[in-house]
Copies of this chain bind each other. A is one copy, B any other.
Amino acid sequence: MVKQQRAARTREALVQAAAAAFDLVGYEAASLAHVSKSAGISMGALTFHFPTKETLATAVQVRGASTTRAATEHLRDRTERPLRTLIDLTLELARLLDEDVAVRAAARLTRECPRSAAPWTDEWLPTAKTLLEHAAKEELRPHADAEALLTLTTHLVTGTESHIRRCALVPGERESAQEQLCRIWQLVLAGISRDPDALL
């Protein structure tokens, strides 16, 4: 039992160190030697638990996915106000990307390894799609393009992730990712143009 606990602690330290590495430099540039060193765990033990970089990346993605699932589960079952729920889903993703290194790493790995076993987007994109279908009946403007809105939602999440990374590299005061995204949704909800039909 003690041995199992020790193995679990070793795996945990490796997943955390790998998440930090994948988050910072991406899949290709991340080095197992660096992960081993920053976790304080020998290369022998690392390769015992994770024989390849791919298995380590999958473990990080599974971790990021399960954190995301736990934090957004309550939104999936909400039946009222689907558009508000979609916005809340993206705000929760913004918070997770801001605060959780495994979630941020999972988002990056999903972009860089498109055939990965546990894509991060699987945790929220199908929910977003269902919410938009429900919103189309009552909350969206008539003829609003639901497919483009799903892409816009994805762009907002990607843009938020990119903004968080930029802020991490060039530190300074900034509003939270959630606050910023909230202001953007206000624009998108009400529209920005006095005369939209004249423009496109």
Contacts and interface: CB of A to CB of B under 8 A. Distances in A.
A189 B188 CA distance: 8
A197 to B, nearest CB: 8
A156 B151 CA distance: 10
Interface string A176-199: 000010111111111111111101
Interface string A150-161: 011011101110
Contact of A152 (B26, B147, B187, B199): B187
Contact of A193 (B83, B111, B115, B151): B83
Instruction: Name A's interface SS.
Output: helix
B148 A114 contact: no
Contacts of A114: 166, 169-170
Contact of A141 (B29, B83, B190): B190
A144 B193 CA distance: 9
Number of copies: 2
Given A155-B156, A191-B188, A193-B190, A145 B183 contact: yes
B191 A191 contact: yes
30 contacts: A25-B28, A26-B26, A29-B29, A84-B199, A87-B200, A111-B165, A111-B166, A114-B170, A138-B194, A139-B193, A139-B194, A141-B190, A141-B194, A145-B187, A147-B183, A149-B187, A149-B192, A151-B183, A152-B156, A155-B155, A155-B162, A155-B163, A158-B158, A188-B188, A188-B192, A189-B192, A189-B193, A189-B196, A190-B197, A191-B191
* Interface core residue of A28, A149, A151, A156 (most chain B CB under 10 Å): A151
Interface in A92-135: 111, 114-115
Given A148-B184, A151-B180, A200-B182, A194 B140 contact: yes
Contact of A140 (B154, B166, B188, B193): B193
Contacts of A180: 148, 151
